[in-house]
Structure 1
Amino acid sequence: MAKRRSERPILITDAARSQDDQLRSRQRRYLLMMTIRAVCLVIGAVLVGTRAPLLWLWLPLCLLGMVLIPWLAVILANDRPPQDKHRLRNRSHPTPTEEAPQALPTQRTIDADD
């Protein structure tokens, strides 16, 4: 039997991601960037070994990738989601008073005792 619209649970969309999810995504991003760095190293070695045309162009690009990518990977791996925007407000400017939220229509609350 399909639930009526009023009986469906309300989703919390503003909830922050869990610490484990944040760590997992940062680890994946770091691993991806380090893999790209390793690919740059292999491509650079192959280009030097084969004396490829335009070596003067491709080799500095590979070297740049091998130097910049680890730096960026560490910075991004240690990056956290931004804090609440309200914490960055200047203290000399008072925050405007917010109006009381409108009363929501009565909805069914799911409780552990139900």
Structure 2
Amino acid sequence: MPAEPKPSRGFFRDASAEHAVLITEAAPSLDDQHRARVRRYTFIMAFRIPCLILAAVAYSAFENPLLSILIIAASVPLPWIAVLIANDRPPRTKDEPSRWDGRDNQIALESGHRKAVE
């Protein structure tokens, strides 16, 4: 009796139902983009609390307030940086078309004398 043919496992050798093959060039979904941005924000903000703890440890160990102030000053812009990075869009690909068509010097409305209704 001949062996039964095995079903195709997709492009990857270890492909299964859990690992679908990507067959489109579509951008990641908005949910995936949001999840990635939240991860980036959380990762950057996770450095803030250790910085404050490190400042306290440095002050108690070295009794140098300047070192502690420098560590705290380094943690001050972290929320701003985290928000800017998290709100950034995914990078453009080389295949993505440019929307600029070279009409930057054209006037949108014609200038001229028009009669006004009084």
Query: Do both share a fold (TM > 0.5)?
Result: yes
Residue 26 of structure 1 corresponds to 37
| Letter of the 1:2 counterpart | K
Q: Give the alignment of 1:52-63 within 5 angstroms.
A: 56-57=66-67, 59-60=69-70, 62-63=71-72
Structure 1 segments (4+ residues) deviating >6 Å: none
Q: Does 1:2 align with 2:6?
A: yes
RMSD between superposed Cα atoms in Å: 3.3
* Identity value in percent: 37
Q: Distance in 1 between matches of 2:57 and 2:27?
A: 45
Summarize deviations over 1:30-59 as a string: whole Å, max 9, x none. 111111111111101111122257x64564
Q: Distance in 2 between matches of 1:22 and 1:65?
A: 28
Which structure shows the higher helix fraction? 1
Instruction: Choose the corresponding residue for 1:92, options 90, 102, 106.
Output: 102
> TM-score, length-normalised on structure 2?
0.57
Q: Distance in 1 between matches of 2:24 and 2:74?
A: 38
> For 1:14, what is the secondary structure of its paired residue?
coil
**May I ask how many residue pairs the two structures share in their alignment?**
89
* Consecutive unaligned residues in structure 1, runs of 5 or more: 94-114
**CA contact 1:37–1:65 (8 Å) conserved in 2:** no
> TM-score, length-normalised on structure 1?
0.58
Summarize deviations over 1:56-103 as a string: whole Å, max 9, x none. 45641x224311211110111211224573134x4129xxxxxxxxxx
**CA contact 1:34–1:70 (8 Å) conserved in 2:** yes
Larger RCO, structures 1/2 (Cα 8 Å, 6+ apart): 1
Q: Does 1:12 align with 2:16?
A: no
Q: Distance in 2 between matches of 1:56 and 1:3?
A: 67
Instruction: Choose the corresponding residue for 1:39, options 30, 50, 54.
Output: 50
* Consecutive unaligned residues in structure 2, runs of 5 or more: 12-20, 104-118
